[in-house]
Amino acid sequence: MKRGVIKTVLGACLLALAATPAFATDLTADQALTKLKEGNERFVSGKSMHPHTDAARLIQAGNEDQGKHAHATIISCSDSRVPVERIFDEGIMDTFIIRVAGNVVDTDEAGSIEYGLAHVNTPLFVVMGHTQCGAVKAVTAAVEGHGHPLEINIPPLVDNIEPAVKRAIAQNPKAEEKDIVPIAIVENVWQSVHDLFIKSAKVREMVKGGKVKVVGAIYDVSTGKVEWLPEEKVSTILADVEKDPKRQMQAMADEGKGHEEHGDKKEEHKEEGKKEEKHN
């Protein structure tokens, strides 16, 4: 390596260290939340700093564990108007993000969230819905009896939104459809929190033990502003789920299985792998 190159790389490494005053996992959930709030204020006022987006951060990303840095796991909608890192003025290795139409929590999403909380060790989890959500609008139209034909894989995706829409209608029986949608969008955030708690004994355990804080939010696509929903609602949902016989009780995938059997299966897979290699 040429001396100039070494100098540049070394300089970049030092810069990376200097750019990280404290490991993000040192942040408490409340500090992580404050960071998101401040980032969103910068974004809304046109004062984004675009932190952690330079070459130094890339070097750091290639060499360090994201668990040392990422401070929030966030699930939001796939909608192109909801670019999560920009909304919070965050950069590389700052947030662990799941994006799915309607910010629903089904099995794959719950698994991703468990990964973000239990392995990337973020102290904060945010479910962020957004105004004018097309997924919630479509489900509301369908529940109101004038839906349109859906592609084969969409119904099992949006069925998670249905209970939220039905609750919004039940709470506001006289409201027009256009007025139901914003209420259903908020209900859908709570639905995702509920579905996560139902599916994940591990997340419930982490929340009860104070390791993780869960918050709901709504992003306004026309102003860029994030509205934070009442935090106490999460405790109410958790208490309800704890009484629900349908909740998953098993926290770990191999709980209750004989370790010997598990080990044998691993060996079988190894053998299969070897065979595959031979074919190639």
Stretch binding Zn ion (CB under 5 A), from 2-10, 12-20, 79-87, 243-251: 79-87
Q: How far is the CB of 136 from Zn ion (least distance, A)?
A: 7
- Residue 48 vs 132, nearer CB to Zn ion: 132
Q: How far is the CB of 221 from Zn ion (least distance, A)?
A: 9
133 binding Zn ion? (CB under 5 A): yes
- Residue 79 vs 195, nearer CB to Zn ion: 79
- List of residues 6+ apart from 242 with CB closer than 8 A: 204
77 binding Zn ion? (CB under 5 A): yes
Ranges of H-type helices in the chain: 3-18, 29-44, 55-63, 84-87, 107-114, 134-143, 155-158, 162-171, 177-199, 201-208, 232-242, 259-279
Among 76, 79, 194, 206, binds Zn ion (CB under 5 A): 79
Our CA angle for 66, 228, 226, nearest 5°, is: 75
Stretch binding Zn ion (CB under 5 A), from 8-16, 132-140, 151-159, 202-210: 132-140
139 binding Zn ion? (CB under 5 A): no
Q: How far is the CB of 219 from Zn ion (least distance, A)?
A: 9
**Cα dihedral 173, 177, 182, 185 sign:** positive
Rounded Cα distance between 37 and 35, Å, is 5
Q: Are 183 and 166 in contact (CB under 8 A)?
A: no
98 binding Zn ion? (CB under 5 A): no
Enumerate binding residues for Zn ion (CB under 5 A): 77, 79, 133, 135
